[in-house]
A and B are shown apart, each in its own frame.
Chain A
Amino acid sequence: MNANVMINWTDVGAAIEVAPQSARRVETVMGAIAVFRTVADEYYAVFDKCPHKGGPLSEGIVHGRAIACPLHNWSISLESGEALGADAGKGCTPTVPLKIADGRILLGLNF
């Protein structure tokens, strides 16, 4: 990430509001963002739009550090936003910086 960009950390809710192996949606002016929590309690945020045909990733099945899109089952990496497996190289969803502080979820937004 470019160090010159000022990141505006925005509190979007308590970390426990997102259950393990699931996702919640955050609505923004730039479109919805999906906040994921993995089985190992790692949190990730990516735009809630599948690179294939725009499926809502927040509704998919979270497995490992990936999400299976609910519409046609592409697997998307939560770390990089890249499509994985058979669909690797076919598309990428933008990721959003995220950190957890004092039990709150902070998204790094620059808008």
Chain B
Amino acid sequence: MTTQKERIVIIGAGMAGGRIVEEILKRDDTRFEISIIGAEPCATYDRIQLSPVLAGEKTFDQIVTHSQDWYDSNGVKTHFGYWVQSIETAAKHVVLHDGQTIAYDKLILATGSDPIRLPLPGSDLHGVVAFRDLLDVDLMTQAANNGGEAVVIGGGLLGLEAAYGLAKRGMKSTVIHLVDVLMERQLDEAAGRLLEKALLDRGVISVLNAQSEAILGETHVEGLKLKDGRVIPASLLVMAVGIHPHVEPAKSSGLVVERGIVVDDQMRTSDPNIFAIGECAQHRGQCYGLVAPIWDMCRTLADVLTEKNVDSSYAGTQMATRLKVSGVDLYSAGRFSGGEGCEDIVFRDPGRGVYKRIVIKDDKLVGTVLFGEAADGGWYFDLMKKGEDIAPIRDTLIFGQAVTNALAGQDPSDAIAAWPDDTEVCGCNGVSKGQVVASIASGNDTLDKVRGHCKASASCGSCTGIVESLLKCTLGDSFKAQTGPKPVCKCTEHGHAHVRKAIIEQELKTLPDVMQALKWTTPDGCSSCRPALNYYLLCAWPREYKDDPRSRFVNERNHANIQKDGTYSVVPRMWGGLTSAKELRAIADVVDKFNVPMVKVTGGQRLDLFGVKKEDLPAVWADLNAAGMVSGHAYAKALRTVKTCVGSEWCRFGTQDSTGLGVKLEQATWGSYMPHKFKMAVSGCPRNCAEATIKDFGVVCVDSGYELHVGGNAGIHLRGTDLLAKVATEQEALEWGKAFVQLYREDAWYLERTAPWIERVGLQFVKDRLAEPEMRAALVARFLESQAVYQVDPWAEHAPKSEPAKVFSPLADLREGFTQPEPAE
């Protein structure tokens, strides 16, 4: 005889539906026969992660939380792609859209919410979508593939994430928001402004105080008309103006429904056999729109159903929000805008775009808004939830946990170590400190492994810092980050080596990212670190990083050497010291045309035009370009000159074509930015007329081939080269030259020339890397990759009439004969 198991039926296979199955099975995996019905045609996924999927930062497979396999292997019956039409409470079964019925003993409603659609004229046109499920993301992705303009109505969390994702997919993206602060329900005005700017940097335009009037178009959306008459063109229109609980079929089945399905503290509806969890539920008058409450609700309901803890009760959840827009750190929790009896503590650092506000009432933390630096969000939130007395730490509270604990004589990781095991670490996935520590102890010794194993920090990422601290204190010193000895500058404690390593390992790809990740102490660095970081970034990410002229010294920004009177000198390249009548004529013409006061032959075998006015630079370059000449980079931390002698072509002692090899070396390496300037020379015989043994890379030709020399310097401290190798062919000499340049580019510190670099790392280090053919080839390949981007003539880019040339002339001229523009009020 078989006894019928108790049947639990769940309507809705979303985040609450999937989670409740898991919580029940965790407590009792034999007692129930569980069926789950979901209208979406797929298994359960992490809805929160639709934003990164839209932005192309994750794939759908990566966000599935409970797969079909998972349900199958746990003996759960699934009906995906089915819609529950009605609930017959007397008969205790549900009716699906195809007419089949499924009987239950206990029924759980987890039907979530529906997006609100504004009843605007035109809202039924093609190309008008919401942002709620996978289908919406598919529609948006398809639209984005055709390019065009996206308009998102609603500047809340969802709307901004949609707009960001669409901008990332290449659409022109505009957010329309009714009031004058973005995310006004979570942010105060100051943080809202910072957010607006951060979004603009990511290609999202915000139109505030704007009321939508009508969606325009014939069959497909073409634009959005605002009340003030403005029309914004759009090929895709996303409505993200809010959600309302999905209360069907509960309502028509006679359950008590107000805004949501009304439940008690044990998630029970007005029918004792029916429960509701997630966004469809209304508990103590409140409906939620975030996941944190779902985990609490599911725990309580599972306790009750399995009778593991019949007194378990749900008391509501405080919530925190984090925006999932890459690179924008934004966190808000509780009452941020203060009110009666509340005090504010505000910290701003506009330079770094950091804004923090904490709200205190009766010595308790009641709210916080963090922008730009939100690592302490979880800590504040925990203080809030626990209602901790913050009077003793009030002075330092705003500076965050690390400072507060350090000043209280406590190591911040010690503080986390002392947390009770049940402290919640990851709100998104409901993981406690004890679970994280257990996961680490079972062998998950990196952040990624912990994420994969217990899901902590795998969703919004706000608890990453805490999980890292737990890794540190569980694994001990082996996890401690290393810091270089001599700081780059006074803005940081880190040395060059550490910074270069972090840029690569942490995939830092912008200056603000580096400063943020490595905790720079100044808003935007200084004139020492900015050029260094700019170089490190362009060296590490030649394709992705966009060179920042504002972090370059004047000479590299203006592509000429500044002189003491504010004029410039201009040095065109003369390959290997060769020139022609045509080039000389063009130079002579430039000298006449622009009244250049002096022309000098430099020590680097080329001509230098001194005393050129800044506003004339673009025109001078254009004339030189026209004669086929490009910038000589005499001003840059880059390849300067390749000095040659006449070699075998003319000289009676010449052993090889030194001139030809010099020209080839210069053509291969010009345009390449380096830690410091870099000079080369090729001499045709050991008489060494090109002075190759005092160059960064020098070649001395001999009968049997080419001697390659490195690390020479004739500047402040004279240093002769070291012999690196001897090769037989010109081809090899070129290959070694490129590989050496790349090794120097990747390893030396900014403003360290090859001579001090080799003194520091040792010649053997260089030999080891270059002698190995595979490593040498890999260095050459990376060098060529960088050259593909950087081997461009900066002069040609700034030719007159092209846009950037404007910055070479004054903003205004108020001297005689100049008519002023109409003054503003």
Q: What residues of chain A have their CB less than 8 Å away from a CB belonging to chain B?
A: 9-13, 17-22, 24-29, 32, 35, 38-42, 53-56, 59-64, 68, 70-71, 73, 75, 101-102, 104-106, 109
The answer to whether A24 and B526 touch (CB under 8 A), given A10-B820, A11-B823, A71-B564, is: no
Q: List the B side residues contacting A63 at CB < 8 Å.
A: 522-527, 530
**Is B564 within 8 A of A11, CB to CB?**
no
The answer to whether A39 and B351 touch (CB under 8 A), given A12-B811, A27-B810, is: yes
B149 CB, nearest partner CB in chain A, Å: 22
**Is B824 within 8 A of A104, CB to CB?**
yes
B430 CB, nearest partner CB in chain A, Å: 39
A106 to B811, CA, bound (A): 12
**Is A62 within 8 A of B550, CB to CB?**
yes
The answer to whether A26 and B812 touch (CB under 8 A), given A11-B821, A59-B562, A70-B554, is: yes
Q: List the A side residues contacting B824 at CB < 8 Å.
A: 11, 101-102, 104, 106
A13 to B522, CA, bound (A): 30
Q: Which 5 A-B pairs have the closest CB atoms?
A: A40-B350, A68-B527, A24-B811, A70-B554, A12-B812
Residues of chain B in range 648-674 having any CB-CB distance to chain A below 8 Å: none
A101 CB, nearest partner CB in chain B, Å: 5
A73 CB, nearest partner CB in chain B, Å: 6
Chain B positions 241 through 279: 1 when the CB is less than 8 Å from some CB of chain A, otherwise 0: 000000000000000000000000000000000000000
Contact of A25 among B551, B557, B811, B825 (CB under 8 A): B811
Q: What residues of chain B have their CB less than 8 Å away from a CB belonging to chain A?
A: 197, 350-351, 353, 522-527, 530-531, 550-554, 557-558, 562, 564, 566, 807, 810-816, 820-825
Instruction: Please list 22 pairs of residues, one from A and one from B, whose beta carbons are closer than 8 Å in the complex, sorted by A's number.
Output: A10-B814, A12-B811, A21-B551, A24-B810, A27-B812, A27-B814, A28-B815, A38-B351, A39-B350, A40-B350, A42-B350, A55-B566, A56-B566, A59-B557, A61-B550, A64-B526, A68-B527, A70-B554, A70-B562, A71-B564, A101-B824, A102-B824
Contact of A61 among B353, B523, B551, B820 (CB under 8 A): B551
**Is A64 within 8 A of B351, CB to CB?**
yes
Kindly report which residue of chain B lies nearest to residue A40, judged by CB atoms: B350
The answer to whether A12 and B814 touch (CB under 8 A), given A40-B350, A61-B553, is: yes
A87 to B197, CA, bound (A): 35
**Is A28 within 8 A of B814, CB to CB?**
yes
**Is A11 within 8 A of B822, CB to CB?**
yes
Most buried by A among B350, B564, B812: B812
Kindly report which residue of chain A lies nearest to residue B814, judged by CB atoms: A28
Kindly report which residue of chain A lies nearest to residue B512, judged by CB atoms: A39
A7 to B813, CA, bound (A): 19
Q: List the B side residues contacting A70 at CB < 8 Å.
A: 553-554, 562
Kindly report which residue of chain A lies nearest to residue B811, judged by CB atoms: A24
Most buried by B among A61, A68, A106: A61
A59 to B359, CA, bound (A): 43
**Is B810 within 8 A of A26, CB to CB?**
yes
A54 to B558, CA, bound (A): 19
Contact count A vs B, C-beta below 8 Å:
111
A110 to B613, CA, bound (A): 29
A99 to B812, CA, bound (A): 16
Q: A75-B526, A75-B527 are in contact. List 4 more A-B contacts (CB 8 A).
A: A17-B811, A29-B816, A35-B811, A68-B526
Q: List the B side residues contacting A10 at CB < 8 Å.
A: 814, 820, 823
A21 to B553, CA, bound (A): 13
A25 to B575, CA, bound (A): 36
Q: List the A side residues contacting B815 at CB < 8 Å.
A: 27-29
Kindly report which residue of chain B lies nearest to residue A48, judged by CB atoms: B566
Kindly report which residue of chain B lies nearest to residue A9, judged by CB atoms: B823
**Is A39 within 8 A of B524, CB to CB?**
yes
**Is A60 within 8 A of B554, CB to CB?**
yes
A101 to B822, CA, bound (A): 13
B459 CB, nearest partner CB in chain A, Å: 32
**Is B527 within 8 A of A73, CB to CB?**
yes
Q: List the B side residues contacting A55 at CB < 8 Å.
A: 566
Q: List the A side residues contacting B531 at CB < 8 Å.
A: 61
**Is B811 within 8 A of A102, CB to CB?**
no
Q: List the B side residues contacting A39 at CB < 8 Å.
A: 350-351, 523-524
A10 to B821, CA, bound (A): 9
**Is B811 within 8 A of A21, CB to CB?**
no
A104 to B812, CA, bound (A): 12
Q: List the A side residues contacting B557 at CB < 8 Å.
A: 59
B700 CB, nearest partner CB in chain A, Å: 38
A61 CB, nearest partner CB in chain B, Å: 4
A61 to B529, CA, bound (A): 11
**Is B810 within 8 A of A64, CB to CB?**
no
Contact of A59 among B353, B558, B822 (CB under 8 A): B558
Q: List the A side residues contacting B564 at CB < 8 Å.
A: 53, 71
**Is A22 within 8 A of B550, CB to CB?**
yes
Most buried by B among A11, A28, A39, A41: A39
**Is A11 within 8 A of B530, CB to CB?**
no
A88 CB, nearest partner CB in chain B, Å: 14
Kindly report which residue of chain A lies nearest to residue B557, judged by CB atoms: A59
A105 to B350, CA, bound (A): 20
Q: List the A side residues contacting B524 at CB < 8 Å.
A: 21, 38-39, 63-64
**Is B811 within 8 A of A61, CB to CB?**
no
**Is B550 within 8 A of A19, CB to CB?**
yes
The answer to whether A40 and B823 touch (CB under 8 A), given A12-B812, A62-B550, is: no
Q: List the A side residues contacting B530 at CB < 8 Å.
A: 61, 63
A36 CB, nearest partner CB in chain B, Å: 11
Q: List the B side residues contacting A59 at CB < 8 Å.
A: 554, 557-558, 562, 566
**Is A25 within 8 A of B822, CB to CB?**
no
A56 to B825, CA, bound (A): 31
Kindly report which residue of chain B lies nearest to residue A24, judged by CB atoms: B811
Q: List the A side residues contacting B823 at CB < 8 Å.
A: 9-11, 106
Kindly report which residue of chain A lies nearest to residue B816, judged by CB atoms: A29
A110 CB, nearest partner CB in chain B, Å: 13
Q: List the A side residues contacting B813 at CB < 8 Å.
A: 26-27
A64 to B515, CA, bound (A): 13
A42 to B351, CA, bound (A): 10
Contact of B807 among A11, A24, A28, A68 (CB under 8 A): A24
Q: List the A side residues contacting B562 at CB < 8 Å.
A: 56, 59, 70-71
Kindly report which residue of chain B lies nearest to residue A8, judged by CB atoms: B823
Q: List the B side residues contacting A29 at CB < 8 Å.
A: 814-816
A55 to B821, CA, bound (A): 29
Q: List the B side residues contacting A40 at CB < 8 Å.
A: 350-351, 353, 523
A26 to B824, CA, bound (A): 17
B491 CB, nearest partner CB in chain A, Å: 9
B383 CB, nearest partner CB in chain A, Å: 29
B291 CB, nearest partner CB in chain A, Å: 35
A96 CB, nearest partner CB in chain B, Å: 12
A11 to B823, CA, bound (A): 5
Q: List the A side residues contacting B554 at CB < 8 Å.
A: 59-60, 70
A102 to B822, CA, bound (A): 13
A104 CB, nearest partner CB in chain B, Å: 4
B754 CB, nearest partner CB in chain A, Å: 24
A15 to B823, CA, bound (A): 13
A88 to B558, CA, bound (A): 29
A64 to B352, CA, bound (A): 9
B205 CB, nearest partner CB in chain A, Å: 14
A31 CB, nearest partner CB in chain B, Å: 10
Most buried by A among B558, B562, B814: B814
Contact of B811 among A13, A20, A54 (CB under 8 A): A13
Kindly report which residue of chain B lies nearest to residue A70, judged by CB atoms: B554
Q: List the A side residues contacting B522 at CB < 8 Å.
A: 63-64
A19 to B553, CA, bound (A): 16
A8 CB, nearest partner CB in chain B, Å: 9
A60 to B562, CA, bound (A): 11
Q: List the B side residues contacting A12 at CB < 8 Å.
A: 811-812, 814
The answer to whether A18 and B351 touch (CB under 8 A), given A63-B522, A70-B553, is: no
Kindly report which residue of chain A lies nearest to residue B806, judged by CB atoms: A17
Q: List the B side residues contacting A19 at CB < 8 Å.
A: 550
**Is B825 within 8 A of A11, CB to CB?**
no
Kindly report which residue of chain B lies nearest to residue A22, judged by CB atoms: B550
